[in-house]
Structure 1
């Protein structure tokens, strides 16, 4: 329930970001180009998951998982408040995004690690347990776009953004008055081998490192507000992929050589790199639902259902709805196969996730080609759609595509969380989980760059973009299958 309402706050504002920033000033938006809006959304998403690395370090060395979730929740709530207040002062919008990034960095990894502490490492229920946890995430993800989309259409952008703060407040209250007492009781009765309420190891320098970081953040905010720093979103997004990958690589080397790991733990880190790369590719296409898919739904899709024009943001609830429906089914399938002696390896599940995602993008490629065809070719289609007289694509194309993307996500994401909680060395478990979320960071930034190219004036390249995603996904899946036996020999855990 804590994660549900935290995700409500996040998924409530995220579908609005690109639409709000690209809306004209006359319509209450910021008036950015679609390329800039998509790039900023990608930077936000990428930074959000990149922040899990320092957040995890703070949890392991200074605060512990319990306090990290608590403090992270408070910071996220302040971020939503800042965004709501941006109605009066526009820079508060970006300060709010920065606060949400910092708070989520503390919250995200620790919430997942705390779930992992409830299971022994060889417990066959672990994957299914994380799948149930994933259902909670997506219940929040399902409700949020419906609520914020309706409020945005009826009452304006800022009330749509502001309602996310209410979700974060609920998450904070549930964590303080329910989750924390429950964990304490569980630990007293059953015993949790990993620490959940204190740092894995005490670091005497941690306080000053955190202090310097907080000071640097306020200085950076001051420089932006005074106009002394004027960041270029497109340039920053293009460079951010390299920055993230170099940061992750350097951090991996640090963990491998300087954290006193034994030989098996080092082998597990090598296995981690394989999953990291596959995950980055998956999320670079999956996270286009907030950029490419958002543009497609907003400009190229017939949203009229029984005479009512569905808000564009409502399409973002489809993925979460499918997860709520199919997560228990997929979880039950994994347990059933394991009991019958046909358990799929985690690597095989990953490959299946990539294949299902490829099918989702094939659907979108077909949808684009059909849209061009019924409107008489590319030039005619662009002309008719721009004038509001074109035949728009059926909403069922997006629904079908989300169905396949959801199956891919269920094969890959909760299983990935489970694997990370299982193979992570105890001393650095939050940091390994943080590195895992960095793969999602890479995907978010890439999705932002790709999504800026998707609009009604670029139909000629849109189907080609979808097919490129298909081939990339299938190639990575094939590589995983080809090297499956070699990877399994490296780790005795598989």
Structure 2
């Protein structure tokens, strides 16, 4: 079958140069350059807008913002972030069963572009429509562009982790420049002009993708397991039914005057737990899977839980920490004042500096058979993210009484989080493609991003605790949770490695 010729069970691309011989992009497949540029501009648009989102929502109306209270602004941010990654699961299904990853990425990019330009319209109703469009488009693009990256390499190619780390650099180059450009324009000139610049960035990403598609060979060209017509109709009916139920339920709530964004947060928190349980159960019961496939999925559940805890804390950089930067941090250096959104560039700058070192380190250690196991890398990432919130608790104490703390506090937190991120995130993308059964590659990548959705959905609930507990207690409690999870992961590393089989 045509789709079987695209990606075999080893994950290698069937068209173009063999993965082991294609070294046209710094020793990696030439197609990686195309995906590098596409992802860089998409992340420029995404992080530029996201860096403004909480600040825009919490800014008073007479200053051009939405005028929401801090708790509601944090809730909207969490709902948006959670929806983006939750929609990665249907986005992965659409690629696997209907369009193929290549087409899903293209259409997703077009929808994202439309969403950003809708945000540029200064109207409340259109603003929320823009957020929904971006969420839908990102759900199509995000898991599938990563799936194409994985298809460029043979499953046991030693360059694989390094390739994903290079790809991860594209994310951070885009997200480094985004706050400096979009954040500055949004905070200093016009919020909506900043949002429109995000749309321009996505247009450039689409251009890169279309012009460089010829270097991707057969990777992602076809659906890996096309759905039969009856299945397509059944899924469409089911999706329409659930969408109608949601519209009717929230519509009635709105007519009664009892609707609140916090209700959406609660629904998403439940979905954030229920959806991964459903997907993991459904995949493990699939009759086409081998016993080894089921065992590997069992191992992946551990990684999913660890990633959800990690992202629950990490993604608060754009919400809780963004407001801390705006309201409790000294934004003047030697008399020069800078926008608070610029702090969003610290993490990607550190990634740009450190990612090549980590890529070299993983490959060097692998060649000498001394590469740390993936469970130990994950445990280290969890430990570091927990420590970072311990530092945030100290920063909160330093800001007690209305004092403005040194920018070095947040910079220190971002440094710790960055090292943790490099231990967990690119490695997580890589291990997802290695553990995924051949028929579920895109959907497993959707599950990886669903872990972010679960973390963000739970964060949408936990951020409401800031109304009933002190800020430093809030940071301490979440940091302690991550440290406890890290210890549990270290202790279970041997069992997880056994479940992984021959995958490291």
Whether these two folds match at TM > 0.5 is yes
CA distance 1:483–1:22, shift in 2 (3 Å): same
Does the CA contact (< 8 Å) of 1:291 and 1:447 recur in 2?
A: no
- The residue correspondences of 1:399-414 to structure 2 (distance < 5 A) are 399-414=411-426
- The residue correspondences of 1:422-437 to structure 2 (distance < 5 A) are 422-437=434-449
- Give the superposition deviation at 1:426: 1.2
Q: Hey, what's the Cα distance between the residues in 1 that align with 2:48 and 2:243?
A: 25
Which residue in the other structure is 1:197 paired with? 221
- Give the superposition deviation at 1:101: 0.9
Point out where structure 1 has 5 or more consecutive residues left out of the alignment.
Answer: 188-194, 373-380, 386-390
- Give the superposition deviation at 1:90: 1.8
- The residue correspondences of 1:13-162 to structure 2 (distance < 5 A) are 13-85=49-121, 87=122, 89-162=123-196
1:480 has 2:489 as partner: yes
Which residue in the other structure is 1:171 paired with? 205
Q: Hey, what's the Cα distance between the residues in 1 that align with 2:361 and 2:410?
A: 26
Aligned residues: 463
Q: Render the CA deviation track for 1:211-231: whole Å, top value 9, x for unaligned.
A: 554798699789989965974
- Give the superposition deviation at 1:2: 0.1
- Give the superposition deviation at 1:43: 0.6
Q: 2:272 aligns with which of 222, 239, 244?
A: 244
Q: Render the CA deviation track for 1:165-223: whole Å, top value 9, x for unaligned.
A: 00110111111111x11113xx5xxxxxxx51011112124654675547986997899
Does the CA contact (< 8 Å) of 1:8 and 1:143 recur in 2?
A: yes
Q: Hey, what's the Cα distance between the residues in 2 that align with 1:471 and 1:14?
A: 27
- The CA RMSD over aligned residues, in Å, is 2.2
Which residue in the other structure is 2:393 paired with? 365
CA distance 1:174–1:225, shift in 2 (3 Å): farther
1:334 has 2:358 as partner: no
Q: Hey, what's the Cα distance between the residues in 2 that align with 1:139 and 1:443?
A: 24
1:464 has 2:476 as partner: no
1:273 has 2:301 as partner: yes
CA distance 1:135–1:257, shift in 2 (3 Å): same
1:397 has 2:421 as partner: no
- Give the superposition deviation at 1:488: 1.7
Of 2-11 and 242-251, the range deviating more from structure 2: 242-251
Q: Hey, what's the Cα distance between the residues in 1 that align with 2:480 and 2:367?
A: 35
CA distance 1:461–1:67, shift in 2 (3 Å): same
Helix, strand or coil for the counterpart of 2:470?
Answer: helix
Q: Hey, what's the Cα distance between the residues in 1 that align with 2:154 and 2:451?
A: 26
1:291 has 2:319 as partner: yes
Helix, strand or coil for the counterpart of 2:372?
Answer: coil
Which residue in the other structure is 2:48 paired with? 12
CA distance 1:183–1:165, shift in 2 (3 Å): same
Q: Hey, what's the Cα distance between the residues in 2 that align with 1:160 and 1:481?
A: 43
TM-score under structure 1 normalisation? 0.89
Q: Hey, what's the Cα distance between the residues in 2 that align with 1:147 and 1:219?
A: 41
Does the CA contact (< 8 Å) of 1:368 and 1:462 recur in 2?
A: yes
- Give the superposition deviation at 1:111: 0.4
Does the CA contact (< 8 Å) of 1:296 and 1:454 recur in 2?
A: no
Does the CA contact (< 8 Å) of 1:58 and 1:206 recur in 2?
A: no
